[in-house]
């Protein structure tokens, strides 16, 4: 392959990266230039807080129940929560320590209890239990 072609390709990739990074920074800083995809991805960022020991928490105390559930289903904390499976006691402690919002806490604790009962009774296997914990309804 010709070296000059390789140089042009690398310059093109560098230019593309610089432009997309720059546009992403503009979207983050200026509401006028935000597109709907950016808004959708960052819709629930206002509910992510940091507690006194530096852990991120989901604080949806003042949000309506529907928003609480949507914020949970799209948060990164849900992924951390799922990684704790099948240790249901640790999952309960995680929810208690890292989630704020009465309706959401009740729904999560009920979901954990239901899945735990079915899992240990043999009505669900590990795959089904994890799938049941993935989305809160």
Q: Which of 21, 5, 76 is nearest to 45 (CA)?
A: 76
- Asked whether residue 117 falls in the same domain as residue 100, the answer is yes
The total domain count for the chain is: 2
Q: What is the pLDDT along the chain (137 residues), one digit of tens a residue?
A: 677 888 888 888 988 887 777 666 655 555 555 556 655 666 777 777 887 888 888 888 888 888 888 888 888 888 888 888 888 899 989 888 888 888 888 888 899 999 999 988 889 888 888 888 888 77
Q: Which domain holds residue 113?
A: 45-134
Q: What is the DSSP string of 45-60?
A: GGGEEE-TTS-EEEE-
- Asked whether residue 126 falls in the same domain as residue 79, the answer is yes
């Amino acid at each position: 392959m010709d070296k000059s072609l390789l140089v042009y390709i690398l310059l093109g990739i560098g230019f593309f990266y610089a432009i997309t990074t720059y546009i992403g920074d503009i979207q983050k800083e200026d509401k006028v230039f935000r597109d709907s995809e950016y808004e959708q991805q960052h819709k629930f960022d206002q509910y992510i807080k940091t507690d006194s020991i530096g852990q991120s928490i989901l604080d949806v105390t003042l949000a309506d129940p529907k928003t609480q559930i949507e914020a949970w289903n799209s948060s990164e904390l849900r992924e951390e929560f799922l990684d704790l499976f099948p240790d249901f006691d640790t999952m309960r402690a995680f929810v208690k320590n890292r989630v704020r919002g009465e309706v959401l806490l009740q729904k999560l604790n009920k979901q954990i209890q239901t899945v735990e009962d079915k899992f240990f009774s043999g009505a669900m296997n590990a795959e089904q239990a994890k799938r049941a914990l993935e989305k809160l309804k």
